[in-house]
A = this chain, B = another copy of it.
Amino acid sequence: MNGHGEEELVFEIGVVVPKRAAIKGDEHYDAVDLLVDEFKKTGLVVEIVPGLAEEFIKLAAPLETLKKAAAKLQLKKPTHIGLDLPFEWDQSEAFVRQNDGSLFSWCERHRCYQCLLRGIENKSKSAMVLKFDGKEFFWEPWESLLQRLESEGIVKLVFPLHDEIKRKQLLRSWALKWWGFTKQPIDDVYLYFGTKIAMYFAFLEMYTRWLFFPAALSILLQLVDFGSLQFLVLPLFFVIVISWAVFFFQFWKRKNFALLTRWKISYTIGTGPGFKILGMEWAPQKHPIELSNKLESVNIKEKRVYQRDEWYGRIMRFRNDAIIILSIICLQLPLELAYAHLYEIIVSGVMKFGLTAIYVLVIQFFTKIGGKISVNLIKDEKIENTEYRADSLIYKVFGLYFMQTYIGVFYHALLHRNIKTLRQVLIQRLIVSEVFDNVLENSLPYLKYSYKKHKAVRNKKKCEKGPWKGKIQFASRVEKEYLKPGYSASIGDELEDGLFDDFLELALQFGLIMMFACAFPLAFAFTAVNNVMEIRTDALKLLAMLKRPVPRAAATIGAWLNIFQFLIVLSICTNCALLVCFYDAEGNWKIEPGLAAILVIEHVLLLIKFGFSRLVPEEPAWVRANRLKNVTHAQDVYSKQLLRSISENGKKIE
């Protein structure tokens, strides 16, 4: 994994255009030719690979080109003095290098590529006439060429390419290293896939390692008979498991910080809604108002605007959450309950199967609709940062999945008070979901890929029937990658990528084992084994089955951390209820309604106490804006001087 771009060039971006007719008159200036020329002009190295039905333009950027793009983007990078400063072309000495010695991380390189590709504009004053396949269209002044071609349907896709050498290395050292148990080359994963995905695998690794402890304990409980103390075993297990979970997440947060430091990612500790750690803010800091030029604090009028903005956003978010929660309770809950109830009542196996089929269809539809509604609702929330928006969506969509997964189980647990059925249901769900998911996760992309490949070959054959009937060449790597499915979420959303599914799987699994820990301790052992496999299958999926994902810069696991924390609190309550069911087999533990009401009030108030601080941030928006404004201003004005002196200093030390 050595220095990128300095010794050897790696093609990292692919652009897909339709295959042009064999030979054309040179009379027209071909749009694709122009695109290739422009790519070359911006300093990119271009390689054109013909495919079956498409042509692939592979792009690589030499370091100098990347530097220019980074300087144009004013990419904030950590410097040797701990401040993040905008990149300057000639002061690269001042910036911290990646652990493999390269100047830019994959996230940063991807941003630079985007900037280079989108930055090709018509610099002349008049519109240019472009032709492609006989079609003519205009390229307006200052319009991005790539955008124009995309809207004309000529550029079909721009996607990151796998780096074959590193991919094979990772396959050997990571995805296929089955005997490695939970051990992973996380640093290499970070260099290859970027922060967010590496964070997922680091979390999965630590989670699995920590899982071994309750797993061992649960096996012990299963094997040993504690005699007269047996009645103490379950409550004790419950207490240990909850403490374990609380410890785990606190130590995960520490691990997260340690990883960020190791990967040389600078972070600020903020008080955002539900966040402790904010990642680098990629998007340029936008203020509702133009930055005033005076170096003064935010004045009263600005303060008002900020406050209005803050509260408006907050109220909108509250409204949206209320809509989602209400619709889940009013629409989804009855559906789920009806299904659970009907499933219990119906005796015939065929009927059960039919019912489940209908249910699955309805719920698929419901989830899709829910996702769409959530995406639309979020647009009102005025969140600028993409990662925040993604998190806001996760909370909303998780509600849907939560109901789907657990309502049936709750139904068994609390209404039937039938522990044996509950255990059966849990085993069923765990095994089915885990085996099913793992198999599906890898086979589905492969099937998709095979189908696409088959279709492409058939099309080719159809087109060229006659001339040569031999085996069709299908060797170009880039075409294979193009045919592989992308790393996208099953809710098919624009805001999240495939990590949503992976985290969702983990969260639902975590909820299942934690919330019903007392009913079925052995679930921990199942899960530990499953997660060891999950690490490798997920790695394999990313490396072999899918297109290389677009890197994301988020520095934490974001909303999922809060969801896990919420599941812990919930599991405290559900396990208590389970314990009551267990020890009250005769049903003579009556609780007066008055007392019950008081207990409910208590729990609601505790929820308010600990939940409210997430609703209203501690640092008012105008204060935060003021702070950031000053810092931004400082960096704008003094960054050049600072950079020069840092890099000089760096040279001296060397």
Known A-B contacts A253-B618, A589-B594, A613-B250; the reply to A261 vs B608 at CB < 8 A is no
Interchain CA distance A646-B638 in the complex, whole Å = 8
Provide a sorted-by-A list of 18 A–B residue pairs whose CB atoms are within 8 angstroms: A82-B627, A82-B634, A235-B598, A242-B609, A246-B608, A247-B612, A250-B613, A254-B620, A258-B622, A261-B626, A579-B601, A580-B595, A584-B592, A584-B594, A584-B595, A589-B594, A599-B599, A638-B646
- Nearest chain B CB to A308's CB is how many angstroms away? 15
Which of A123-131, A268-276, A421-429 interfaces with chain B? A268-276
Contact of A608 among B242, B598, B608, B653 (CB under 8 A): B242
What residues on B are CB-neighbors of A572 within 8 Å? 602, 605-606, 609
Q: Is the CB of A242 within 8 A of B605?
A: yes
A435, CB-defined interface residue at 8 Å: no
Q: Is the CB of A623 within 8 A of B269?
A: no
Q: Is the CB of B599 within 8 A of A297?
A: no
Q: Is the CB of B81 within 8 A of A634?
A: yes
A64, CB-defined interface residue at 8 Å: no
Q: B-facing mask of A238-265, CB < 8 A → 1, else 0?
A: 1100110011001101100110110010
Interchain CA distance A294-B264 in the complex, whole Å = 16
Q: Is the CB of B630 within 8 A of A81?
A: yes
Contact of A235 among B239, B601, B616, B641 (CB under 8 A): B601
Q: Give A610's nearest chain B residue, CB to CB.
A: B610
- Nearest chain B CB to A240's CB is how many angstroms away? 11
Known A-B contacts A254-B616, A598-B235, A620-B258; the reply to A82 vs B271 at CB < 8 A is no
Q: Is the CB of A595 within 8 A of B606?
A: no
Q: Is the CB of B573 within 8 A of A602?
A: yes
What residues on B are CB-neighbors of A634 within 8 Å? 81-83
Interchain CA distance A475-B115 in the complex, whole Å = 77
A591, CB-defined interface residue at 8 Å: yes
A568, CB-defined interface residue at 8 Å: yes
A295, CB-defined interface residue at 8 Å: yes
- Nearest chain B CB to A522's CB is how many angstroms away? 21
Q: Which of A601-643 contact B (CB under 8 A)?
A: 601-602, 604-606, 608-610, 612-613, 616-620, 622-623, 626-627, 629-631, 633-634, 637-638, 641-642
Q: Is the CB of A618 within 8 A of B295?
A: no
- Of A595, A605, A645, most buried by chain B (CB within 10 Å of CB) is A605
Known A-B contacts A270-B269, A589-B595; the reply to A606 vs B606 at CB < 8 A is yes
A49, CB-defined interface residue at 8 Å: no
Q: Is the CB of A637 within 8 A of B595?
A: no
What residues on B are CB-neighbors of A604 within 8 Å? 239
- Nearest chain B CB to A518's CB is how many angstroms away? 10
Q: Is the CB of A254 within 8 A of B589?
A: no
What residues on B are CB-neighbors of A120 within 8 Å? none
Q: Is the CB of A637 within 8 A of B649?
A: yes
What residues on B are CB-neighbors of A253 within 8 Å? 618
A569, CB-defined interface residue at 8 Å: yes
What residues on B are CB-neighbors of A653 within 8 Å? 294-295
Interchain CA distance A512-B594 in the complex, whole Å = 25
Q: Is the CB of A295 within 8 A of B623?
A: no
- Nearest chain B CB to A639's CB is how many angstroms away? 11
What residues on B are CB-neighbors of A601 within 8 Å? 235, 238-239, 576, 579
Q: Is the CB of A82 within 8 A of B595?
A: no
What residues on B are CB-neighbors of A568 within 8 Å? 609
A141, CB-defined interface residue at 8 Å: no
Q: For the complex of A and B, list the 7 residue pairs with the smallest distance between their C-beta atoms, beginning with the closest.
A: A82-B630, A81-B634, A253-B618, A80-B295, A576-B602, A82-B631, A257-B623
A242-B608, A572-B602, A584-B595 given. 18 additional CB < 8 A pairs? A81-B631, A81-B633, A239-B604, A247-B612, A250-B612, A253-B618, A254-B616, A257-B618, A269-B271, A295-B653, A576-B601, A579-B598, A580-B598, A583-B594, A584-B592, A589-B592, A599-B599, A606-B606
Known A-B contacts A583-B594, A606-B569; the reply to A633 vs B82 at CB < 8 A is yes
What residues on B are CB-neighbors of A631 within 8 Å? 81-83
Interchain CA distance A602-B570 in the complex, whole Å = 11
Q: B-facing mask of A571-597, CB < 8 A → 1, else 0?
A: 011001001100110000101101101
Contact of A250 among B246, B247, B616, B630 (CB under 8 A): B616
- Of A584, A595, A598, A641, most buried by chain B (CB within 10 Å of CB) is A598
Interchain CA distance A325-B589 in the complex, whole Å = 35
Known A-B contacts A82-B631, A591-B591; the reply to A619 vs B269 at CB < 8 A is yes
A185, CB-defined interface residue at 8 Å: no
Interchain CA distance A641-B239 in the complex, whole Å = 58
What residues on B are CB-neighbors of A589 within 8 Å? 592, 594-595
What residues on B are CB-neighbors of A492 within 8 Å? none
A650, CB-defined interface residue at 8 Å: yes
Contact of A609 among B246, B583, B616, B646 (CB under 8 A): B246
What residues on B are CB-neighbors of A597 within 8 Å? 235
Q: Is the CB of A598 within 8 A of B576?
A: yes
Q: Which of A547-578 contact B (CB under 8 A)?
A: 568-569, 572-573, 576
Interchain CA distance A264-B298 in the complex, whole Å = 12
Q: Give A78's nearest chain B residue, CB to CB.
A: B630
Interchain CA distance A638-B649 in the complex, whole Å = 10
Interchain CA distance A604-B576 in the complex, whole Å = 12
Q: Which of A494-517 contact B (CB under 8 A)?
A: none
What residues on B are CB-neighbors of A630 within 8 Å? 80-82
Interchain CA distance A247-B612 in the complex, whole Å = 8
What residues on B are CB-neighbors of A246 within 8 Å? 608-609, 612
Q: Is the CB of A620 within 8 A of B257?
A: yes
Q: B-facing mask of A519-539, CB < 8 A → 1, else 0?
A: 000000000000000000000
Interchain CA distance A270-B604 in the complex, whole Å = 30
